[in-house]
Structure 1
Amino acid sequence: MANPKAGPQRSDWQRNHERLVATAAALVARDGAQVSLEEIAREAGVGSATLHRHFASRQALLEEVFRDEVERLRRRAGELAGGDPRTGLVTWLEELTTAAANTRGLPASLAAGADVDAPDGDTCHDIVREATVVLVSRALAVAAVRPEVSPDDLLTLVEAVSRVTEGDPLTAHRLLRLVLDGICP
């Protein structure tokens, strides 16, 4: 999230911003998405007020921490949308679950992002949901999944599996396969 003031940023503002994001990424990877904002500020070498000037909320900070991974996932969904609809959806769900299980704090952040009203509709949650909608729609069109399957149901399942298997992508993959067996006709 950029500074709300328009125009180019001062170099010290930019340095502090980058340091806060890098520090938050390291601490979230170590301690999870609920890491103390005060600890992030302290570790970044800035005051709590500076952190709050850069990020209006914990979710705003997490959005930026996870943005690169979510953008990678968006590109991957675009690639998968060009192939077989069932394979594309299954591969997407597997890769999303693995990324979420490997990226501590991402599942909680994606779930919380559903409640964020971003003016541009471009939260991490929005990006992942949009990709899922496209892939589910394609799979539904060719009856590759049961008709009652919804994108939001699948995202809830991915979130649940990845939360309980955080740091264990092999178990996440195995549990997801069990779920996928239930959604396919």
Structure 2
Amino acid sequence: MTPRTEQHRPEMSVEEFEELERHAPETVRLEFIGGRVQVKPVTDGNHDHIIAWLQRLCMQHRPELWLYADRGMKVESYRKGRARPDGVLAPFGFPKGHGDWSGTEGVLMAVEVTSYDSDTHRRDRVEKPDAYAAAGIPVYLLIDRDDHAVVVFDQPEDGRYRHEEKIPFGATVKLPDPVSLTLDTDPLKDLAD
């Protein structure tokens, strides 16, 4: 099975990207996906509130875990990519001693909330699922504000998620093992704009 994203010759090495990212202004968030440097949009208030809502739910139902916001992750095959998911669900204490970029061992779920920019489709709906699946992250949760839906990707295999389910805001979403959470997505209806 081939990845959905086109293969590009890398613009630079991972080491060059990490050096660039270290010196980027605090107002810019950079990622290295599919061999390309990408600028991740700065979040808005509703975006931040969605992550806070999800952090609270995870803490209430799975207190041994934490949803880490904007944690640098080594993704894609052989960890040649670098991403900053909006959230990473992992055991509490997961990033201790990792430096700027963590491997995916122990990560249960990556979370992205769509932004209102022209690259959202390619980045969040195409490239990120492939990158997270290739890194072996069991669940990818996409909170899609454009489509007013939650998309749950799971069962990573051969660099792709074998299962994808799209559920409209307002419905109850059951996140599969190893996350094992049930979300009432009704509050997301007011946060889509």
More helix by share: 1
More strand by share: 2
Tell me: higher relative CO, structure 1 or 2? Use CA pairs within 8 A at least 6 residues apart: 1
- Work out whether the TM-score is over 0.5: no
The TM-score normalised by the length of structure 1 is: 0.28
